[in-house]
Structure formats: C-alpha cells, structure tokens
C-alpha cells in the first residue's frame, strides 16, 4: 500500500514512523487527513434505472439488459410459494 501526501502550506515538521508490529503510522504532532472521495448515490450509477423510485422499493437485477431496476416487489415477483414457517 502506498500513501502519498501533499503539504499545501508551510507547516511545522512532522515526524513519522511506521510501527512494523501493527502496520500503523505514528506522528510526533497531530495530523488531519482529508479525502477527496465523492459521495455516490445508487440512482446516479450508470447501470441503475431508478425511474420507479418509491418508499419500500429495492434493486432488482434485469438480465435482459444487464442493469438494475429500482422497483417495489409484488407477490407475483416471487418464484414459488411464500412460506413464513411454523410457529
């Protein structure tokens, strides 16, 4: 694993050492790390058709066009009988 860091402004020197027992990095001064990872939503993914969004909907795979469709499930969507078990 590689960690790359960029310091954008003059800051105090930061001593860093790798703890070989745990694989963790230890610093001599506090360090704040910010990431540029964007938050993604399911409905923005290229292979998801979210045009039928509704409360209680779920993702269903459509093998015909290799995409996922957001839809509410009905009993007719279930293959076979629905068995809730014995109580």
**Measured distance CA(44)–CA(47) in Å, rounded:** 9
| Of the candidates 66, 68, 62, 64, the residue with the CA atom closest to the CA atom of residue 49 | 68
The pLDDT of residue 68 is 92
**Measured distance CA(38)–CA(27) in Å, rounded:** 27
Q: Per the structure, how many domains does the chain have?
A: 1
In a domain, 11, yes or no: no
Q: Which is more confident, 27 or 62?
A: 62
* Residues of the domain holding 63: 42-77
In a domain, 14, yes or no: no
**Mean pLDDT of the chain, nearest integer:** 78
CB 57 within 8 A of CB 71: yes
Task: Give 10-34 pLDDT, tens digit per residue.
Answer: 656 777 788 778 878 777 777 777 7
User: Model-level pTM greater than 0.85?
Assistant: no
| Of the candidates 57, 25, 32, 31, the residue with the CA atom closest to the CA atom of residue 43 | 57
In a domain, 6, yes or no: no
In a domain, 30, yes or no: no
């Amino acid at each position: 694993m590689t960690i790359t860091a960029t310091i954008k402004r003059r800051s105090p020197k930061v001593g860093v050492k790798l703890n070989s027992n745990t694989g963790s990095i230890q610093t001599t001064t506090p360090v704040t790390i910010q990431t540029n990872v964007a938050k993604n939503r399911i409905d923005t993914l290229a292979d998801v058709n979210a045009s039928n969004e509704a409360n209680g909907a779920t993702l269903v795979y459509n093998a015909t066009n290799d995409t996922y469709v957001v839809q509410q499930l009905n009993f007719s969507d279930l293959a076979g009988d629905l068995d809730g078990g014995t109580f």
